[in-house]
């Protein structure tokens, strides 16, 4: 605890548990979505590709970085630095620094997966020139992500000096790291918006029904959400350079970064879940059909008493010996034929006509 820090007003606050719960929830949801994607690509469509492998790699990095958050919060991350001992502060900062490069690579991998997915879709069109765009996005992401992640851990020699400033060694200008953070956030936001809007240029050329084109375009445009999160995270990260209460103030930016990381993974998987959506749609239709059929059966069972409804008798004025009698069978009763055959009556009132021929002496 530094003597230059003033005690924060109010009761002792701890944002760590809430931070950890939210990160775990988003990571679990992302894991479920990726699992569904892999199941569809491997066992349903049998079209597992590079984009699927890259998104699995992105998820693994996200899981590891989320795991690092557990000892980070236990050490005191989320509390005011005033209340932390020197050991707690070192442990909290150590796990935070170790998780940062994983987060950077996970974000880049999720966007690379989207780019590879776009390349697969573009193969169905004649837009050959447009295939250069996903390749350009992949190159940009690699160019900015590798230096950002490398500088995060390489700015101090030895690395332990990052979380233990009193240790012997030296560090580079911290403003370089801040500028790299701005550049990384801005480029991630640009790539998110670009990848979200790019499908508009070729969806119309796909050999799909119009309504499926609309759905595909909307699903791929979900990346706008990731772009908005990247902008917000970049703004908050810039404010941290002038903050001394880093273990408390940085929680918001760290939370946004992890949400962005997992939402990017989810968005990358959503366009591939079409068969799953179709399954649930057909399932709902089947349940509705069964419910309707059950209602009809209940109506039929409620009509147990057989009461013929007399519709009167008609006498032929030309041949008085012939008399026609007609009646209606109750709903749901099978009709017994003369030779033992049975025919189910169509719902409604069905007429059965009996003809009695009376043969007299004059017949």
User: Is 26 part of a structural domain of the chain?
Assistant: yes
User: Is 129 part of a structural domain of the chain?
Assistant: yes
Q: How far apart, in whole angstroms, are the C-alpha atoms of residue 10 and residue 99? A: 31
User: Is 82 part of a structural domain of the chain?
Assistant: yes
User: Is 118 part of a structural domain of the chain?
Assistant: yes
- Ordered per-residue pLDDT tens for the chain, 363 residues: 444 566 676 667 889 999 999 999 999 999 999 999 999 999 988 889 999 999 999 999 999 999 999 999 999 999 988 888 889 999 999 999 999 999 999 999 999 999 999 898 888 776 677 888 999 999 999 999 999 898 888 888 899 888 988 888 888 887 888 888 888 889 999 999 998 888 877 777 666 666 666 766 666 667 788 888 888 888 887 666 556 778 888 898 899 999 999 999 999 998 888 777 666 666 777 777 777 677 767 777 776 555 454 445 555 555 555 555 555 545 445 555 555 555 554 544 455 555 555 555 554
User: Is 42 part of a structural domain of the chain?
Assistant: yes
User: Is 326 part of a structural domain of the chain?
Assistant: no
Tell me the pTM.
Answer: 0.73
User: Is 72 part of a structural domain of the chain?
Assistant: yes
User: Is 8 part of a structural domain of the chain?
Assistant: no
Q: What are the tokens at 228?
A: 């908005």
Query: Any idea what the CATH number is for the domain that residue 53 is in?
Result: 1.20.1070
Q: How far apart, in whole angstroms, are the C-alpha atoms of residue 53 and residue 79? A: 38
Give the number of other CB atoms < 10 A from CB of residue 183: 14
**What is the CA 138 to chain-centroid distance, rounded?**
23
The number of domains in the chain is 1
Q: How far apart, in whole angstroms, are the C-alpha atoms of residue 332 and residue 346? A: 8
Q: Which of 105-127 are b and which e, b meaning 16 or more Cβ less than 10 Å from the residue's Cβ? A: bbbbbbbbbbbbbbbebbeebee
Range of the domain at 187: 16-272
Of residues 250, 222, 228, 236, the one with CA closest to residue 95:
250
Give the CA angle between residues 27, 30, 33 to the nearest 5°: 155
């Amino acid at each position: 605890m530094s003597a230059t820090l003033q005690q924060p007003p109010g009761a002792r606050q701890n944002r760590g548990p809430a931070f950890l719960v939210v990160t775990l929830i988003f990571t679990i949801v992302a894991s479920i979505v990726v699992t569904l994607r892999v199941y569809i690509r491997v066992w349903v469509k049998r079209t597992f590709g590079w984009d699927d492998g890259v998104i699995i790699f992105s998820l693994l990095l996200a899981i590891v970085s989320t795991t690092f958050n557990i000892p980070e919060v236990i050490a005191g991350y989320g509390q005011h630095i005033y209340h932390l001992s020197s050991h707690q502060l070192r442990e909290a900062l150590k796990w935070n620094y170790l998780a940062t490069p994983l987060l950077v690579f996970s974000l880049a991998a999720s966007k690379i997966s989207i780019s590879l997915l776009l390349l697969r879709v573009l193969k169905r069109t004649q837009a050959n020139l447009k295939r250069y765009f996903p390749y350009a996005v992949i190159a940009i992401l690699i160019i900015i992500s590798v230096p950002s992640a490398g500088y995060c851990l390489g700015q101090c020699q030895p690395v332990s000096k990052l979380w233990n400033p009193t240790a012997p060694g030296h560090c580079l200008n911290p403003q370089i790291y801040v500028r790299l953070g701005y550049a990384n956030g801005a480029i991630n936001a640009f790539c998110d918006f670009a990848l979200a809007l790019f499908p508009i240029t070729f969806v119309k050329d796909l050999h799909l029904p119009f309504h499926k084109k609309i759905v595909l375009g909307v699903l791929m445009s979900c990346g706008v959400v990731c772009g908005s999160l990247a902008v917000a995270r970049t703004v908050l990260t810039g404010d941290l350079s002038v903050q001394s209460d880093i273990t408390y103030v940085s929680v918001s930016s760290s939370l946004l970064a992890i949400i962005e990381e997992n939402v990017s993974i989810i968005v990358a998987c959503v366009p591939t879940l079409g068969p799953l959506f179709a399954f649930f749609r057909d399932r709902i239709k089947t349940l509705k059909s069964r419910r309707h059929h059950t209602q009809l059966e209940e109506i039929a069972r409620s009509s147990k008493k057989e009461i013929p409804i007399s519709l009167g008798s008609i006498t032929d004025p030309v041949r008085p010996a012939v008399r026609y009698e007609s009646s209606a069978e109750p709903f749901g009763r099978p009709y017994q034929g003369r030779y033992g055959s049975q025919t189910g009556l169509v719902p409604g009132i069905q007429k059965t006509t009996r003809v009695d021929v009376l043969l007299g002496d004059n017949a």
